[in-house]
Amino acid sequence: MNWQDKKVLVTGAGGFIGSHLVERLLKLGSQVRAFVRYNSRNDIGQIRFIPSDLRKELQIVAGDLRDYHAVGNAMKGIEIIFHLGALISIPYSYLHPREVVETNILGTLNILNAAREGRVKKVVHTSTSEVYGTAIYIPIDERHPLQGQSPYSASKIGADMLAESFYRSFDLPVSIIRPFNTYGPRQSARAVIPAIITQVLTKDKISLGSLLPTRDFTYVDDIIKAFILIADSDKSIGRCINIGSNFTISIGDLTQKIVNILGKKIKILEDTKRIRPTKSEVYRLQADYQMAKELLNWESKTSLEEGLKKTIDWISKNLHLYDAERYEV
């Protein structure tokens, strides 16, 4: 696909992954409209880190995914939609499950309805590896059962099923991208890698949740490439596609790797308030990305060591944006 002058909408554009995707699309020459959640501070989120010469080409629209009128207006004239907008914090979903369900399910329904009415050429809906829950078998392929182990994961299962239903019921050209754990510059301290890095940079002991779960981490640049390839490919329509590295590491070993890269000696403490309820914790995730390789010729190119060094470098230069003493829900 020639992305030059393509009219593209990105929901969740102010978020970590969304801002990187917006930047990439602007570099490709697309006409990008960024949908961000309205707030009275006029805070555009991580979009502020996009270089100003690119950002001036961006159209920013504020609203709420739960408001169909706002979504419909944002969709006008759009050819391709990347739907990343969601409430993504698992701890927050324990506290406010209704808000999470309304945003993630009703918001997705609004996107799909507006896309159908607007006859868009492609919808790329963003899922999450959390929908699988703790692995029943590994590596996890797209046929693995879905398990709602948190209100967040349950809401994303619902959103994914809606996206699939609009493809099956109305021939809406939908593809579902299912990234495993993404990391890189601009990520908030809500996520485990920035939480570890910020504490190691500033303290002599750090507090984390359980050190036992294993995760499949993929660097953000590789994830953004997958988004573009999925949007490009007709073979992806009607499919859900895993994006991950097929390499896992425990949170404990990940912490030690970051400590070693920074050359520190750190005491690691388990903080009970950061530990998920036992039946809600996802203990094992490992991606089978064979479908992505076969359909898209996609593979993760950035090693964990390389990606961590890039992330550490960015956080070190922007440490004022983080509060290492605060547990971000």
pLDDT digits (tens, 9 = 90+) for 86-109: 999 999 999 999 999 999 999 999
Quick check: 273 pLDDT over 90?
Answer: no
Rounded-to-integer distance, Cα 69 and Cα 311, Å: 38
Mean pLDDT of 118-147: 98
Quick check: 49 pLDDT over 90?
Answer: yes
Quick check: 173 pLDDT over 90?
Answer: yes
Considering only residues 1 and 44, tell me which one the structure prediction assigns the higher pLDDT.
Answer: 44
Mean pLDDT of 24-44: 96
19 confidence band (pLDDT: 50, 70, 90): very high
Rounded-to-integer distance, Cα 162 and Cα 168, Å: 10
For residue 109, the model assigns a pLDDT of: 98
257 confidence band (pLDDT: 50, 70, 90): very high
Residue 257's identity, in one-letter code, is K
Rounded-to-integer distance, Cα 161 and Cα 155, Å: 10
Nearest to 231 by CA among 88, 125, 86: 125
Task: Provide the CATH number for the domain formed by 192-215+247-285+302-321 in this structure.
Answer: 3.90.25.10
Mean pLDDT of 239-250: 98
pLDDT tens digits along 202-239: 999 999 999 999 999 999 999 999 999 999 999 999 99
Task: Provide the CATH number for the domain formed by 7-183+219-243 in this structure.
Answer: 3.40.50.720
Where along the chain do its domains lie?
A: 7-183+219-243, 192-215+247-285+302-321
Quick check: 198 pLDDT over 90?
Answer: yes
Contacts of 317 (CB under 8 A, 6+ apart): none
